[in-house]
Amino acid sequence: MADRRYTKTHEWITVDGKTATIGITDFAQSQLGDVVFLELPTIGRKIGAREGFGVVESVKAASDLYSPVAGRITEVNEKLSSKPELINSDPYGEGWILKLELAGDLPTDLLDEGEYKKVTEASAQ
């Protein structure tokens, strides 16, 4: 998807008007291995850019999730509580994690596909 942006901490974001959808990247899920649980915030909570908002537990480790942008949480993906494996099988689709109502402009440090690819190639070494 052309308008999908990425972070160095392996989250992705798409924006539709004032609504942002956030998840973790395919590279992130492949590194984590099978996801077994997500600890997610409550709807209505305000979070800042690069603020931690939850935890993803895989068989290997617990990893913090960071928001690429500031905003107010309007939705969390309820399906993940019973099917956390959606993060592995469809990280950019059914495995989305939460939706935010954007506060202000998008940060300028978000990466496009090509820039993110370089990050993953560097960390795969």
Partner 1 sequence: MVDFGGWEMPQQYSSIRDEHFAVRKAAGLFDVSHMGRFRIAGDPSFDFLQRTVTNDLGPLVHGQAQYNLMLNESGGIIDDLVVYRGSEGFFVVVNASNREGDLDWLREHAPSGVEIEDRTFELGLIAYQGPRAEELLPAEGLHDLPYFGFRGGDVAGIHALISRTGYTGEDGFELFIDSDRVGEVWDAILERGRSAGVLPAGLGARDATRLEAALRLWGNDMDQTTNPYEAGLGWTVKLGKGEFIGREALQKIKAEGPRRMLVGLKTGSGDIARHGAEVRASGRPVGHVTSGTHSFFLGHPIALAMVEAASLRVEDTAAVEVRGREARAEVVKLPFYRGSARSGTSTAKA
Binding residues (CB under 8 A) for partner 1: these are 33-34, 36-39, 55, 57, 59-62, 85, 88
Pick 39 or 109: Cβ nearer partner 1:
39
Question: Which residues are CB-neighbours of 124 under 8 A, at least 6 positions away?
Answer: 27
Question: Least CB distance from residue 87 to partner 1, whole Å?
Answer: 12
Measured CA to CA, the distance from residue 73 to residue 59 in angstroms comes to: 27
Question: Least CB distance from residue 3 to partner 1, whole Å?
Answer: 30
Question: Least CB distance from residue 24 to partner 1, whole Å?
Answer: 16
Pick 19 or 31: Cβ nearer partner 1:
31
The secondary structure of residue 111, as a DSSP letter, is B
Pick 43 or 62: Cβ nearer partner 1:
62
Q: Which residues share a beta bridge with 16?
A: 19
Pairing of strands 35-39, 46-47: unpaired
Pick 21 or 29: Cβ nearer partner 1:
29
The secondary structure of residue 45, as a DSSP letter, is -
Record the tokens describing residue 50, joined without a space: 């690069």
Question: Least CB distance from residue 53 to partner 1, whole Å?
Answer: 14
Rama region for 64: left / alpha / beta (φ>0; ψ in -120 to 50; rest): beta
